[in-house]
């Protein structure tokens, strides 16, 4: 190959390397930035823990959650629910993990893990904390790995409202990522990279007689089972 050709190839290769580095650098910056999100239990910084009677409040980077349940911070940045003796079922609403602010339109992004037969749920638009099931809507969290036919009470379904579009469950014991987006009355749920609710009109599909609040609390259910969450992030839209 002639010297001039070799020079051109070297320059072209160097330009490709520089361009690839710039693109990769931009991807890393964009993918790691969570602009506008508040977070707690992100695995990097331990939250501030405050006790007030039965309530425990965990405050991280711009975000606070509170509970009467036995949710315990772990060394890996997760929060482990270890029910106390006698704590069974799901009607102990104070034991849920409550975000302390009200939300209308939002993105709530988190990871969770449960054992075999695990059961929990993500609630939103709760306007009365005395009964999350009566005053909010629940995106079901349930061990549905390998299940073919899914309904409203299965993973990714909205209880008494709509079943999931697909089964995105991972096996028990593995971390799952759920992103819940509420915007302009429409609900989208992305589970492990798959869309399981796609702009669902919650008000139109809600059970008869149930109020759809303008805004309300977000909560993760204590179902009386061992359960873990981590990387909780929220953003108001």
pLDDT tens, position by position, 79-89: 999 999 999 99
Residue 95 CB contacts under 8 Å (≥ 6 apart), including other chains: 67, 68, 69, 70, 87, 222
Least confidently predicted of 3-12, 118-127, 189-198, 205-214: 3-12
Position 19 scores a pLDDT of 40
- Rounded to a whole number of angstroms, the distance between the first and last alpha carbons of the chain is 59
How far apart are the C-alpha atoms of 109 and 35, rounded to whole Å? 13
Q: Where are the beta strands (DSSP E) in 62-193?
A: 64-67, 71-73, 79-81, 97-99, 106-114, 119-126, 137-142, 176-183, 186-191
pLDDT > 90: percent of the chain:
77
In 118-224, where does DSSP find H-type helix?
A: 202-205
Q: Is the pLDDT of residue 20 over 50?
A: no
Position 186 pLDDT exceeds 50: yes
**Count of CB atoms situated within 10 Å of the CB of 105:** 14
Helix (H) or strand (E) holding 49: strand 48-52
Please, which pLDDT band fits residue 1 given cuts at 50, 70 and 90? Answer: low
Residue 180 tokens read as: 């819940």
Task: Judge residue 19's burial from the number of C-beta atoms within 10 Å of its C-beta, 0-12 exposed, 13-18 middle, 19 or more buried.
Answer: exposed
- pLDDT bracket for residue 9 (50, 70, 90): very low
Q: What Rg value do the Cα atoms of the chain yield, rounded?
A: 22
- Rounded Cα distance between 220 and 120, Å, is 7
Residue 26, pLDDT > 60, answer no
Q: Note the helical H segments in 123-179.
A: none
32 pLDDT more than 70: no
Least Cα distance to 141 among 119, 109, 167, 163 occurs for: 119
**Higher pLDDT residue, 13 or 228?**
228
Beta bridge partners of residue 138, listed in sequence order? 123
Nearest alpha carbon to residue 174 among 219, 140, 143: 143
Between 174 and 1, the higher pLDDT residue: 174
Domain boundaries, the chain: 1-33, 35-236
Q: What CA–CA distances, in Å, run from 190 to 14, 99, 193, 195, 198?
A: 40, 20, 6, 4, 8
Predicted confidence (pLDDT) at residue 8 exceeds the cutoff of 90: no
At the fourth CATH level, the homologous superfamily of domain 35-236 is: Exo-inulinase; domain 1 (2.60.120.560)
The tokens of 205 are what?
A: 């599909």
């Amino acid at each position: 190959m002639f010297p001039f050709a070799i020079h051109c190839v070297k320059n072209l290769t160097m330009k490709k390397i520089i361009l690839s580095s710039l693109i990769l650098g931009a991807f890393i910056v964009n993918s790691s930035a969570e602009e506008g999100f508040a977070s707690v239990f992100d695995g990097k910084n331990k939250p501030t823990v405050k006790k007030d009677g039965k309530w425990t409040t965990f405050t991280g980077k711009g975000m606070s959650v509170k509970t009467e349940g036995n949710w315990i911070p772990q060394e890996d940045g997760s929060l482990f629910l270890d029910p106390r003796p006698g704590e069974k079922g799901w009607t102990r609403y104070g034991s849920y993990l409550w975000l302390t602010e009200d939300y209308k339109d939002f993105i709530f992004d988190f990871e969770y893990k449960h054992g075999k037969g695990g059961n929990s749920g993500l609630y939103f638009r709760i306007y009365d904390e005395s009964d999350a099931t009566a005053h909010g809507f629940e995106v079901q969290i349930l061990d549905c790995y390998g299940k073919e036919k899914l309904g409203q009470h299965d993973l990714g379904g909205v209880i008494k409202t709509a079943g999931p579009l697909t089964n995105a469950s991972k096996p028990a014991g593995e971390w799952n990522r759920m992103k819940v987006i509420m915007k302009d009355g429409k609900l989208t749920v992305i589970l492990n990279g798959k869309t399981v609710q796609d702009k669902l009109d919650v008000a139109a599909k809600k059970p008869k007689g149930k109020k759809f609040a303008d805004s309300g609390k977000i909560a993760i259910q204590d179902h009386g089972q061992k359960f873990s969450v981590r990387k909780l992030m929220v953003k108001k839209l």
